[in-house]
Amino acid sequence: MLVSDFHYDLPPERIAQEPLPDRAASRLLHLNRLPGSWQGQSWPDQSWPDQTWEDRTFCEFPDLLRPGDLLVLNNTRVFPARLYGHRSGQRAQPLSPHNPASRDFLRGRIEVLLTRQLAADPNEWECLVRPGRKIGIGEKLYFGDPPELEAEVTKRGSFGERRIRFAPVLDFFARVERIGHTPLPPYIDRADSSSDRERYQTVYAQTPESMARSVAAPTAGLHFTPEILERIRRRGIEVAEITLHVGLGTFQPVRVERVEDHKLHREWYEIPAEAARAINLAKAGNRRVVAVGTTTVRTLEYAAGLSAKRAGGNQLEAGQGEADAFIYPGYRFRIVDALLTNFHLPQSTLLMLVCALGGKDVVMAAYRHAVEAGYRFYSYGDCMFID
């Protein structure tokens, strides 16, 4: 299967640069799966009936759920994982490179995106650095003005990937909160603002007891408000929460020609006992498990695969670990029956996952409809419900 099969054209003006004032005011494309689209098969003649999809708003989402459904949320919390600093022997510059006043990038200026904290040593992180080619092993990096954090590069990877080790401090995350920036995706062409700290976060995000946190939001969850969640519960829909801390595995670009040759980075997850119990009861009762976001799908399907290897069947075990489930058309889902998701980049692993659930041809046709109908795309954009 070719990565190019998942390409679509998107005018730049369709990429949402700002969130809507009302989280729940986003548009929602309701995709009705057809016979033959399930499990990634193609619809025979690609002539899509009118009922294939419907243009709705997210406020209608509770009414699209069925009493007895189980809605599963990823309650991870985003932290300000983008750090600006300077290299050994260079003067710190406090301005963000996204700020027009500092776009000349004074010598020694660096940007670091923390992507994964290592379990073996909490002071050590995997990250992406810019400018990548100039930052070598053994180089010292300083963050803040005056510096509040110091790190040393311990390992060099490809495409700007590095491993760095911070000098130990007792209040590491407090310092990151002070000097870090909201890690908005690169297709949002503006500097982060103070409002992004709240808006690029779900209303149900939890402060983790572990040191790990997310470097990107589970964006399908950004549409929910407390009022929407209350409406969902009043309709007899159960809600469960799991955690997957979003890292490089979620947004790394695909740099191979064949889908099967791509490998995902691992991301930390946890499924509490109460969530596993609720999911197993839903599956045993032939009730739908509705995932909010691709991160939720990957977590549940990865954990179900582990459980199947250990005990057989589709029982989901509680626990934590590191997931690297790469889901693309042809995958047979064990847990997830329906999905709420934002629109994703062309040729991305997230789009491949959506196509695996909804059927590649119909999903790609729905994306073309969304472009033509003026939907807003990506993190701060509109959403799709695959029912």
Comparing CA positions, the residue from 208, 185, 167, 220 lying closest to residue 81 is 185
327 close to 353: Cβ distance less than 8 angstroms: yes
Q: What 8-state DSSP symbol labels residue 373?
A: T
Whether the domain at 3-77+213-386 and the domain at 82-181 fall into the same CATH topology: no
pLDDT value, residue 100: 41
pLDDT value, residue 95: 42
What are the domain boundaries of the chain?
Answer: 3-77+213-386, 82-181
Give the residue ranges of the chain where pLDDT is below 50. Answer: 36-45, 90-97, 99-106
Comparing CA positions, the residue from 359, 361, 346 lying closest to residue 386 is 359
CATH 3.40.1780.10 fits 3-77+213-386, yes or no: yes
pLDDT value, residue 159: 84
385 close to 61: Cβ distance less than 8 angstroms: yes
> What's the rounded Cα separation, in Å, for the pair 266 and 315?
23
Q: Exposure pattern of 244-271 as b/e (b: 16+ CB <10 Å)?
A: bbbbbbbbbebeeeebeebebbbbbbbb
The string of pLDDT tens digits covering residues 212-244 is: 689 999 999 999 999 999 999 999 999 999 999
341 close to 366: Cβ distance less than 8 angstroms: no
Q: Which helix (H) or strand (E) holds 371?
A: helix 360-372
Q: Which helix (H) or strand (E) holds 53?
A: strand 53-57
pLDDT value, residue 105: 40
The string of pLDDT tens digits covering residues 181-204 is: 999 999 999 999 999 999 999 999
Chain centroid to CA 183: how far? 12
> What's the rounded Cα separation, in Å, for the pair 61 and 247?
28
**Radius of gyration of the CA atoms of the chain, in A:** 21
Comparing CA positions, the residue from 289, 309, 310 lying closest to residue 300 is 289
> What's the rounded Cα separation, in Å, for the pair 340 and 64?
11
pLDDT value, residue 313: 66
> What's the rounded Cα separation, in Å, for the pair 235 and 67?
6
Whether the link from the prior residue into 147 is cis, omega within 30° of 0, is no
Both tokens of 45, joined, read 């003649």
Provide the phi-psi class of 312: left if phi over 0, else alpha when psi is between -120 and 50, else beta.
left
**Considering the domain 82-181, what is its CATH architecture?**
Beta Barrel (2.40)
Comparing CA positions, the residue from 103, 123, 111, 116 lying closest to residue 82 is 111
Comparing CA positions, the residue from 349, 366, 355 lying closest to residue 330 is 355
* Three-class DSSP category at 384: strand
Taking residue 203's Cβ as centre, other Cβ atoms within 10 Å add up to: 15
Number of H helices, E strands in the chain: 9, 15
Q: Exposure pattern of 273-303 as b/e (b: 16+ CB <10 Å)?
A: eebbebbbebbeeebbbbbbbbbbbbbbbbb
> What are the residues whose beta carbons fall under 8 Å from the beta carbon of 74, sequence distance 6 or more?
218, 221, 241, 242, 243, 244, 292, 293, 295, 296, 299
